[in-house]
Structure 1
């Protein structure tokens, strides 16, 4: 055999170029024929076709003693024959169209593949190599008999045929092969199809599942290329959207009852209420019979395009179990004139087409066994010889109400025709091939037609746009069907929507939900989920050892939210926000500070104003009785200064209440520190004066008072207070207190407080107050037993004791108190120490002035000393 590398013309079986015959006659002889059913029409350019005209292939027994008989086909398929006739009609229509392929007549060679890989492959090789008995070409080369092939209808034969013919770039346009594996341009460089691939079908079916919220589904698929590839794509697409396949079972080819019963057990044991099936109708018959036997009515079936429109299950027997089935099918189209063309078909028009003869015999039972049983001999003769049209025939062959596969055949033929037309429109030296050359229709190379077929772009008479993507796939568009019960107890198919794949919009599902029939008591779609959806405020936690669709719903933690259903993770709220009680929304955090409106703030303000009023009242009492001995004896000027400082101490509390601002933060501690130093320094000088007075009453201390005159007293208080002012000035100028949002105490709230800025500055302020208070307490304690009837040092001792006790207790209480309560502790310390000083020093004097004026005399005050004399 001589093998050529540029055409497949030498691929026909038993084509041997005998050397001796070449030398004698210069011809190549065909050594044998396949037994193939076919249809033929001559033309300038020939298109090939492969169709399911019979259902079975019969292989005779082998004896190995003689040449085996050729296989033959049985059980005529009217629908498949309609597909073949549709191709013949399309070519006839193109030949009559003056605007498409003018001056070119298309012909065809159509073969029956008998739904068998071997027969389909033989037919394809016959198309590619030709069936001529001989040809004169010493190299066994030449143009191919057909320039393109329409078919095959199944994925497995298409894979085998494209693997071989693709080596020679013979264009193949399938009308029904959907395996997504055929989209591999490296393996199948010349394969095209007018039906969407399984990848699109899978996406369309997953769109339906997502629309109804079915995330937990079962999967059944046939044990062939179509089923296995569709199942693989389906599981990947489900995984992409976070959905799960509850079980995945293969429908066996041999229909083994044990396997069928096992699959039924898996379906019934599963919690999935939706079952998706990718299989040809023939694979499903045993399973559906078992469904009827076991009375399984609680499943929602989803049918792939391979069986969504099959009529085998539309009988009353399957109604209770399959009614309500949802499925998708390829686009239905209309072909004007096809019905009349089919009715005019007669074998007498073309006697050499044995496929027509077989069809006619099956149509009217014109076999040799039945001829003698016909009563009307003349009518029988007319029918069986093809002398009468099919005017009254009503079969699946003449039914053009739901053209789907036939419509795809029609589009495939027109795609090849438009590619040839574009090829012929090429202008010389402006072509797409090497050297800007155009293709020659007479010596056409298959790969040249592939180039133009890839760019085919036209619109059918039905209004559908036809073009191919880079993988040779057509634009995806599906009809969505629902199986309804009919009045006669059977099942009818109703179109309820469309799934359309657009380049810009992606996969779009449009459904008329009001038209859907649900075969359940609720008349609503079943719930099919492994776990119910997690509401907002929770997150999904996958159960260990289970698919991702099986999960528990855990509430989000504090400060985290999920505002969508089935959230995988909770989102942490921003710094100034917190989760609401339902954990589904971030709300601004509650800002906490000691406010004027809350009870604690009102109480402290009341205490502050009362203390201030008491100071003012005492000042009024002392002013009215400023000439009495008890007022004069206690250094009235220092007493008034002390009362003024106490009043400032009470009023500085108001700076600690309310929303912290920069100026309040800066003033509150400065006013507090200066007021208390003024108070303590006044007490300290007062104590020193008491001690000086006592010493000056003794001979050895006659000159003590000269150091504690009025000027010295004022200067001492001024100097001591000025030191505190310096400390405050340095603190405020270097590291001033500022408002601060504190999240340390509690994450759910913002504690608005004044940050002290410099710890050293704040410590020096308090330390200085503490130092003066300690000195005052020590001096007053030493002078507590001075021999006066009214001992001022004793009262100062009590006041300093209260003051020191309060502020010593303040430190641990302040450190351990959170948020606004730390401010309340500081305010309480200020009020308690101020009230302590006010009561301890001034209450006894006011008691005598107001209630016992008879004791407000010099003799009473000096009573002890007079008695001693």
Structure 2
């Protein structure tokens, strides 16, 4: 009986284990059918609206706010690239690419939800009722510019071996192939951006800086790399503070207070503009100005509507951004996009209604906007969508789309050499197969750039370049992002920066390079002495001791001169010691010579008398030999004092017969005549 009940129970449980979706997936923002469909995830909105979670029923649908026009441009660039590929005969001949593009709202949960929608499809139909296994609807996913949502996507899709190619997720952590084996990107890792920022800071002589970062993967990993490299290069960080859009106002006020009390005049900001804008608002209210801001590509070129308001604080800001490019035909494509009321392709509708303050649907009681006339035109607008002055990330989307297309081209063994251009019609592509071809893809874009991935899924080293951007105010009072130079990673050290210094506008009224050091440089003749309890950039300058020198700026120690040398007055050079003799011109010298000659003369006179009377008994009784020796020694003793006289000032003139004439070098002319 028990066995029978167990079998019935297992049968019932098995019948209930039918794989069903709990709810229908949301429709994509943009979609188009094709033989092969490529997935896309972009942050069309910047912030999700918080919803209630009653824990007794399914939560409400998450909604988003704040339209992101730059991401719309990126998504349309992906569509443009796919349309361009479909119209070409040298890539995937006879194969049509489609797309499904979802909104992540720059949120981790929605990004993962969009990824699952791309994997599962929009409906709940399965192969059979016994298994959740079904083929993936897309072979690859392009997009998602933020690192944290991208980490969620790459982690979730890793078990499916589904390639994910990002155009903007630059966190250095994503280069770890053990954690993210299916991740690729067309933007350089923040490891390189951090190195560029350190070298930029060092290039302008700033060794004492403050640091602000977003409290997420992008900010924390990027600032960690910056601090590590800065320490190696001798750049000190006075403070390092984290901010995030959901933090309370008290946290931002604390950061503003730290900035006001700081002595550094340069601020490194590894943040997203959403986080930075809240901080700028507080600084604007407190009129905190006079700081040189250094930014990353996440905000330095962001044309935000409120950017003019904060220019007073951010004037002269400089930073790095992804190198600009030109994509033929893209501008016309972007300006000719129109909204659609077709389900799963309504992504342009909300933007259109916002831009032209009209409704694309029929007038009803829920809206007060007038209906759109159909004559609206995007060409007359000036915003991030229509601005093509800096489309570095759009170019990255363009390259990512072509990377997938060329990988599919190689995977399907397409033949484009013969007149009969064909590809394999087996469109049941396994993501793992495409993954292997992506690792080896190598192609040249329409603007002549050769592109391929390295072993970490990052762009190759020789395409890791950055433009240097400067915030300036135009004649009509608008903020401009002026490119004043570039950084080329493939060039030798010391030549990687190409900068036009005359085109830079600095913060401050004098428009000079701001000075930001903890201690002024120690000049030659002094050495650095670290201040106890402070970073190595803070030090005192101590003069070198006697006999020591330092001949370089900021010398850590003084060098001892050789024994025959001494330090000069400035203590920056060793000079030969002066050999001093008693001068014949001095009174002491004259007295010594006189006494020495007199003593020697007397001694020699006594010796002469002894010699003349050498046969007398008294001389013999005093041991004449010993007496002569003593008198000779005494003569030498008197004469040895003459060796302390500087005889170099006496010039020999002539030696005639028994007369020697010397001329003394002094103010007057003084002759010494010796008769022999």
- In the superposition, the TM-score normalised over structure 2's length comes to 0.78
Deviation, 1:95, is: 2.8
Deviation, 1:547, is: 2.5
CA distance in 1, matches of 2:380, 2:475: 26
Tell me: CA distance 1:470–1:577, structure 2 relative to 1, closer, same or farther (3 Å): farther
CA RMSD of aligned residues (A): 4.3
Instruction: Pick the aligned partner of 2:502 from 500, 514, 520.
Output: 514
CA distance in 1, matches of 2:512, 2:581: 58
Indicate conservation of the 8 Å contact 1:345/1:389, yes or no. Answer: no
Q: Which residue of 2 aligns with 1:451?
A: 436
CA distance in 2, matches of 1:544, 1:136: 72
Indicate conservation of the 8 Å contact 1:314/1:491, yes or no. Answer: no
CA distance in 1, matches of 2:379, 2:293: 39
CA distance in 1, matches of 2:538, 2:195: 23
Q: Which residue of 1 aligns with 2:484?
A: 496
Structure 1, residues 66-122: CA drift from partner, whole Å, max 9, x if none? Answer: 655433444443322111110111122223333334444333221111222211111
Instruction: Pick the aligned partner of 1:127 from 110, 113, 118.
Output: 118
Q: Which residue of 1 aligns with 2:254?
A: 262
Indicate conservation of the 8 Å contact 1:530/1:549, yes or no. Answer: yes
Q: Which residue of 2 aligns with 1:740?
A: none
Gaps of 5+ in 1: 1-17, 428-438, 659-819, 822-869
Structure 1, residues 746-804: CA drift from partner, whole Å, max 9, x if none? Answer: xxxxxxxxxxxxxxxxxxxxxxxxxxxxxxxxxxxxxxxxxxxxxxxxxxxxxxxxxxx
CA distance in 2, matches of 1:470, 1:224: 26
Indicate conservation of the 8 Å contact 1:615/1:644, yes or no. Answer: no
Does 2:132 correspond to 1:147?
A: no
Tell me: CA distance 1:591–1:417, structure 2 relative to 1, closer, same or farther (3 Å): farther
Structure 1, residues 255-279: CA drift from partner, whole Å, max 9, x if none? Answer: 6333333222221112122222222
Indicate conservation of the 8 Å contact 1:560/1:572, yes or no. Answer: yes
Question: How do 1:742-753 and structure 2 match up within 5 A?
Answer: none
Tell me: CA distance 1:133–1:590, structure 2 relative to 1, closer, same or farther (3 Å): same
Instruction: Pick the aligned partner of 2:233 from 227, 230, 241.
Output: 241
Tell me: CA distance 1:69–1:575, structure 2 relative to 1, closer, same or farther (3 Å): same
Tell me: CA distance 1:316–1:103, structure 2 relative to 1, closer, same or farther (3 Å): closer
Deviation, 1:326, is: 1.8
CA distance in 2, matches of 1:450, 1:412: 13
CA distance in 2, matches of 1:554, 1:574: 21
Question: How do 1:531-542 and structure 2 match up within 5 A?
Answer: 531-542=519-530
Indicate conservation of the 8 Å contact 2:213/2:219, yes or no. Answer: yes
Tell me: CA distance 1:261–1:62, structure 2 relative to 1, closer, same or farther (3 Å): closer
Does 2:467 correspond to 1:485?
A: no
Q: Which structure has the larger Rg?
A: 1
Structure 1, residues 663-702: CA drift from partner, whole Å, max 9, x if none? Answer: xxxxxxxxxxxxxxxxxxxxxxxxxxxxxxxxxxxxxxxx
Instruction: Pick the aligned partner of 1:398 from 386, 398, 418.
Output: 386
Tell me: CA distance 1:576–1:419, structure 2 relative to 1, closer, same or farther (3 Å): farther
CA distance in 1, matches of 2:369, 2:156: 52
Indicate conservation of the 8 Å contact 1:207/1:509, yes or no. Answer: no
CA distance in 2, matches of 1:101, 1:90: 13
CA distance in 2, matches of 1:549, 1:620: 80
Tell me: CA distance 1:319–1:390, structure 2 relative to 1, closer, same or farther (3 Å): closer
CA distance in 1, matches of 2:175, 2:585: 74
Q: Which residue of 2 aligns with 1:419?
A: 407
Structure 1, residues 107-153: CA drift from partner, whole Å, max 9, x if none? Answer: 32211112222111111112233335434367654653222211211
Instruction: Pick the aligned partner of 2:45 from 31, 54, 76.
Output: 54
Q: Which residue of 1 aligns with 2:280?
A: 288
Q: Which residue of 1 aligns with 2:453?
A: 468
Does 2:151 correspond to 1:159?
A: yes
Indicate conservation of the 8 Å contact 2:141/2:164, yes or no. Answer: yes
Q: Which residue of 1 aligns with 2:5?
A: none
Structure 1, residues 181-200: CA drift from partner, whole Å, max 9, x if none? Answer: 22222211222222222222
Does 2:626 correspond to 1:634?
A: no
CA distance in 2, matches of 1:440, 1:369: 44
Q: Which residue of 2 aligns with 1:34?
A: 25
CA distance in 2, matches of 1:42, 1:615: 128
Tell me: CA distance 1:520–1:644, structure 2 relative to 1, closer, same or farther (3 Å): same
CA distance in 1, matches of 2:638, 2:402: 95
Tell me: CA distance 1:166–1:375, structure 2 relative to 1, closer, same or farther (3 Å): closer
Larger displacement relative to structure 2 (329-338 or 310-319): 310-319
Q: Which residue of 2 aligns with 1:678?
A: none
Tell me: CA distance 1:65–1:426, structure 2 relative to 1, closer, same or farther (3 Å): closer
Q: Which residue of 2 aligns with 1:113?
A: 104
Instruction: Pick the aligned partner of 1:410 from 382, 389, 398.
Output: 398
Tell me: CA distance 1:422–1:413, structure 2 relative to 1, closer, same or farther (3 Å): same
Structure 1, residues 430-465: CA drift from partner, whole Å, max 9, x if none? Answer: xxxxxxxxx997454434433333334444333444
Tell me: CA distance 1:598–1:467, structure 2 relative to 1, closer, same or farther (3 Å): farther
Q: Which residue of 1 aligns with 2:174?
A: 182
Structure 1, residues 590-646: CA drift from partner, whole Å, max 9, x if none? Answer: 4979899999999999988877776766676677xx4x6986863599758854785
Deviation, 1:376, is: 10
Does 2:76 correspond to 1:91?
A: no
CA distance in 2, matches of 1:64, 1:640: 130
Tell me: CA distance 1:636–1:463, structure 2 relative to 1, closer, same or farther (3 Å): farther
Indicate conservation of the 8 Å contact 2:599/2:638, yes or no. Answer: no
CA distance in 2, matches of 1:229, 1:376: 48
Does 2:543 correspond to 1:555?
A: yes
CA distance in 1, matches of 2:449, 2:571: 51
Structure 1, residues 398-457: CA drift from partner, whole Å, max 9, x if none? Answer: 322221221121122223333344545699xxxxxxxxxxx9974544344333333344
Deviation, 1:467, is: 3.4
Instruction: Describe the SS at the equivalent of 2:158.
Output: helix
Instruction: Describe the SS at the equivalent of 1:634.
Output: helix
Q: Which structure has the higher relative contact order (CA within 8 Å, separation 6+)?
A: 2
- In the superposition, the TM-score normalised over structure 1's length comes to 0.62
Q: Which residue of 2 aligns with 1:833?
A: none
Does 2:312 correspond to 1:320?
A: yes
Tell me: CA distance 1:523–1:28, structure 2 relative to 1, closer, same or farther (3 Å): closer
CA distance in 2, matches of 1:244, 1:609: 72
Tell me: CA distance 1:20–1:262, structure 2 relative to 1, closer, same or farther (3 Å): closer
Q: Which residue of 2 aligns with 1:191?
A: 183
Does 2:269 correspond to 1:277?
A: yes
Tell me: CA distance 1:370–1:528, structure 2 relative to 1, closer, same or farther (3 Å): farther
Instruction: Pick the aligned partner of 1:366 from 334, 343, 359.
Output: 359
Q: Which residue of 2 aligns with 1:306?
A: 298
- Whichever structure has more helix as a proportion of its residues is 1
Question: How do 1:674-753 and structure 2 match up within 5 A?
Answer: none
Tell me: CA distance 1:150–1:597, structure 2 relative to 1, closer, same or farther (3 Å): farther
CA distance in 1, matches of 2:94, 2:563: 79
Instruction: Describe the SS at the equivalent of 2:347.
Output: helix
Instruction: Describe the SS at the equivalent of 1:302.
Output: strand
CA distance in 2, matches of 1:98, 1:655: 108
CA distance in 2, matches of 1:597, 1:422: 100
Indicate conservation of the 8 Å contact 1:346/1:389, yes or no. Answer: no
Indicate conservation of the 8 Å contact 1:622/1:631, yes or no. Answer: no
Instruction: Pick the aligned partner of 1:100 from 91, 96, 101.
Output: 91
Instruction: Describe the SS at the equivalent of 1:340.
Output: helix
CA distance in 2, matches of 1:126, 1:370: 32
Q: Which residue of 2 aligns with 1:251?
A: 243
